[in-house]
């Protein structure tokens, strides 16, 4: 469908104003459309397929779905290179298909959050085609153009996350243009007021269609320094490979000038003002800055006038270690003030956490349950990535199977993002796990994923799938876990413990994040209900809890 399609809201728009704060403490299920369900047999998932599977999502007990991009795109970066913000790419369906998906989701009590990729477009977007045509046309300043240095080299040392310089020469204008990702993903110039106005209009289009919010891709990449200063090298003591793989030289710069600029705050206020016209809508921003993640997250979510919530890469990388988690949570609580975090352990860009946080053989299921429980007990909202509830591991793919340009560029030391994007598995004994009737899916369905298929796990009362369902349902009954405060406790090596509070309700959460037994001493004066365990049963000896390997527990305080 083209961008000229009607902008009036279809029937089925949810009553978003019923609980305008529904997003606070929400559990959001991320759907990667290419890999969820193929309805037409072409090997690629689509919007009709998603609609067919929404009952499954609703049965998980989540509050919302987040749809990764389905917009018109040449698919060089699989939808994160948009060529029409108001169109649905034909491989995914039509705008009518999207409307039916939204209506069905709302009828099931699910909110609909969609990706908005507004830091850059595809080079096939009409805006860029016009901008690159000359230096004098109406959109000549809509992208980030610069003359070369006297020797013909790029304006500065800025690097692309996908490898090489962040500048590409364009012979039409005899200038360089900026791209933080692929050369086919030119960066929009947010310093231009017309660009900001146009992007807000694109967002309004989807709000009018009934979406309940936006996940904002690379939200701190919108602005660059107009001075085009070169970035300094990173301080070795602050080196952090959380944003890019360790083999990527992008990590060697301190990105002071190519992103995370102060001008971003006024634009986020403009965006929030637009969302406020539609009560009950929300935003969640992706903050990627290796040196200043929490500071930026705090600035972007504080004051109730910018983003509703944001997430960082702290737990999309890092260690599965109680000390690391304690310190990151403590830092967040100190910095974020009245802001609201959103947590994720896996998504479409990183290795699945079941594989990334490797555990000793034999503890895989217990670890998967503990990780789910831990994420769902943190203060904030939660994003669950499709297949996470099945305990899916990172798929091992050959180089010939890769389609991700990031993995192809840095193979074999970094294998890219295809391993976390393989299709969902619905039926263990069916072709391609019942994802598609096509002879071949766009990415392989690993044989070892089939044992995790939905139909098989549903039959096992002890499965990770049934644990997710049970724990999300339990969490809904505890307002302290949904919207409460958090108090970190001193808990000893390898143990993470905290109290969640809301009103008069208090819950103690304790996690032994090691493969060894641990002992946890209850704080002086604290007593817990004996019949309120949720998690594995833990022996109690006086004021101590004996914690087996990868035990997680949640219990009310009396």
CA angle 381, 386, 389 (to 5 degrees): 80
Classify residue 388: in a domain, yes or no.
yes
Classify residue 130: in a domain, yes or no.
no
Q: Give residue 537's pLDDT.
A: 62
State yes or no: pLDDT of 541 exceeds 80.
no
- Work out the average pLDDT over 69-92: 98
Please check whether residues 411 and 331 belong to one and the same domain.
Answer: yes
Residue 472 belongs to what H/E stretch? helix 464-476
Q: What is the count of structural domains for the chain?
A: 2
Residue 530 belongs to a domain with what CATH number?
A: 2.60.40.1180
For 386, the domain range is 16-118+195-476
How does 383-408 read in b/e, with b if 16+ C-beta sit within 10 Å?
A: bbbbbbbbbbbbbebeeeebbbbbbe
Structural tokens at position 220: 């701190």
202-228 residue pLDDT tens: 999 999 999 999 999 999 999 999 999
The SS3 of residue 324 is: helix
- Work out the average pLDDT over 334-360: 92
Catalytic site includes residue 217: yes
CA distance 48 to 40: 9
CA distance 179 to 162: 10
Please check whether residues 387 and 266 belong to one and the same domain.
Answer: yes
Among 369-378, 433-442, 522-531, name the one with the lowest average pLDDT. 522-531
The SS3 of residue 26 is: coil
Classify residue 445: in a domain, yes or no.
yes
Share of the chain above pLDDT 70, in %: 96
Q: Give residue 261's pLDDT.
A: 98
Please check whether residues 450 and 407 belong to one and the same domain.
Answer: yes
- Work out the average pLDDT over 78-95: 98
Please check whether residues 519 and 383 belong to one and the same domain.
Answer: no
> Which residue is catalytic, options 138, 235, 237, 277?
277
pTM of the model: 0.95
State yes or no: pLDDT of 18 exceeds 90.
no
CA distance 179 to 158: 10
Please check whether residues 234 and 276 belong to one and the same domain.
Answer: yes
Classify residue 142: in a domain, yes or no.
no
Q: Give residue 544's pLDDT.
A: 82
- Work out the average pLDDT over 34-60: 98
- Work out the average pLDDT over 385-414: 97
Best-predicted range by mean pLDDT among 285-299, 392-406, 537-551?
392-406
Please answer whether residues 311 and 344 qualify as being in contact, where contact means their C-beta atoms are separated by less than 8 angstroms. Answer: yes
CA distance 390 to 56: 12
Please check whether residues 391 and 488 belong to one and the same domain.
Answer: no
Please check whether residues 463 and 498 belong to one and the same domain.
Answer: no
State yes or no: pLDDT of 7 exceeds 50.
no
State yes or no: pLDDT of 552 exceeds 80.
yes
Please check whether residues 345 and 217 belong to one and the same domain.
Answer: yes
Name the domain boundary from 418, 442, 476: 476
Classify residue 356: in a domain, yes or no.
yes
Please answer whether residues 385 and 66 qualify as being in contact, where contact means their C-beta atoms are separated by less than 8 angstroms. Answer: no
State yes or no: pLDDT of 163 exceeds 90.
yes
Residue 63 belongs to a domain with what CATH number?
A: 3.20.20.80
Name the domain boundary from 460, 476, 492: 476
> Which residue is catalytic, options 38, 63, 217, 389?
217
Q: Give residue 555's pLDDT.
A: 92
244-272 residue pLDDT tens: 999 999 999 999 999 999 999 999 999 99
Any idea which residue has 């949720």 for tokens? 534
Count of C-beta atoms within a 10 Å radius of residue 141? 15
Name the domain boundary from 454, 476, 498: 476
What are the φ/ψ torsions at residue 479 (nearest 5 degrees)?
Answer: -60, -25
Please check whether residues 418 and 506 belong to one and the same domain.
Answer: no
């Amino acid at each position: 469908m083209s961008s000229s399609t009607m902008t009036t809201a279809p029937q089925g728009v949810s009553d978003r104003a019923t609980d305008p704060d529904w997003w606070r403490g929400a559990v959001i299920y991320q759907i990667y459309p290419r890999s969820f369900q193929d309805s037409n047999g072409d090997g690629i998932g689509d919007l009709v397929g998603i609609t067919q599977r929404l009952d499954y999502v609703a049965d998980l007990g989540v509050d919302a779905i987040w749809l990764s991009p389905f917009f018109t795109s040449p698919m060089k970066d699989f939808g994160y290179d948009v060529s029409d913000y108001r169109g649905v790419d034909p491989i995914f369906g039509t705008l009518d298909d999207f409307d039916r998906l939204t209506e069905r989701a709302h009828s099931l009590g699910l909110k609909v959050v969609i990706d908005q990729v507004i830091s850059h477009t595809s080079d096939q977007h009409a805006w860029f085609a016009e901008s690159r045509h000359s230096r004098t046309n109406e959109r000549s300043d809509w992208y980030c153009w610069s003359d070369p240095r006297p020797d013909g080299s790029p304006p500065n040392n800025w690097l692309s996350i996908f490898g090489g310089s962040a500048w590409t020469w364009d012979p039409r204008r005899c200038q360089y243009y900026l791209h933080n990702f692929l050369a086919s993903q030119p960066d929009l110039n947010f310093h231009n007021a017309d660009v900001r106005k146009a992007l807000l209009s694109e967002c309004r289009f989807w709000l009018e269609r009934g979406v309940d919010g936006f996940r904002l891709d690379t939200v701190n990449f919108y602005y660059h320094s107009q001075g085009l200063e070169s970035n300094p090298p990173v301080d070795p003591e602050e080196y952090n490979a959380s944003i890019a793989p360790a083999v990527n030289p992008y990590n060697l710069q301190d990105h002071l000038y190519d992103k995370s600029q102060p001008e971003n705050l006024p634009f986020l206020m403009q965006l929030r003002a637009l969302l406020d016209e539609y009560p009950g809508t929300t935003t969640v921003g992706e903050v990627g800055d290796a040196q200043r993640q929490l500071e930026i997250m705090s600035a972007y979510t504080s004051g109730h006038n910018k983003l509703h919530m944001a997430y960082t890469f702290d737990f999309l990388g890092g260690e599965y270690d109680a000390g690391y988690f304690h310190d990151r949570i403590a830092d967040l609580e100190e910095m974020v003030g009245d802001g609201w975090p959103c947590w994720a352990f896996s998504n479409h860009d990183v290795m699945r956490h079941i594989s990334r946080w490797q555990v000793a053989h034999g503890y895989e299921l217990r670890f998967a349950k503990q990780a789910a429980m831990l994420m769902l007990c943190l203060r904030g909202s939660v994003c669950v990535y499709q297949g996470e509830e099945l305990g899916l591991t990172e798929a091992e793919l050959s180089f010939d199977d890769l389609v991700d340009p990031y993995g192809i560029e840095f193979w074999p030391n970094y294998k890219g993002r295809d391993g976390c994007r393989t299709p969902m598995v619905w039926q263990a004994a069916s072709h391609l796990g019942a994802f598609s009737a096509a002879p071949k899916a766009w990415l392989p369905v690993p044989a070892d994923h089939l044992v995790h298929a939905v139909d098989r796990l549903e039959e096992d009362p002890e499965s990770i799938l049934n644990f997710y369902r049970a724990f999300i349902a339990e969490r809904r009954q505890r307002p302290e876990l949904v919207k409460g405060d958090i108090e970190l406790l001193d808990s000893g090596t390898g143990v993470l413990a905290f109290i969640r509070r809301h009103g008069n309700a208090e819950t103690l959460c304790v996690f032994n994040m090691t493969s060894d037994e641990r002992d946890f001493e209850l704080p002086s004066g604290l007593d817990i209900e004996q019949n309120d365990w949720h998690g594995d049963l833990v022996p109690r000896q006086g004021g101590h809890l004996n914690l087996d390997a990868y035990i997680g527990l949640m219990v009310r305080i009396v």
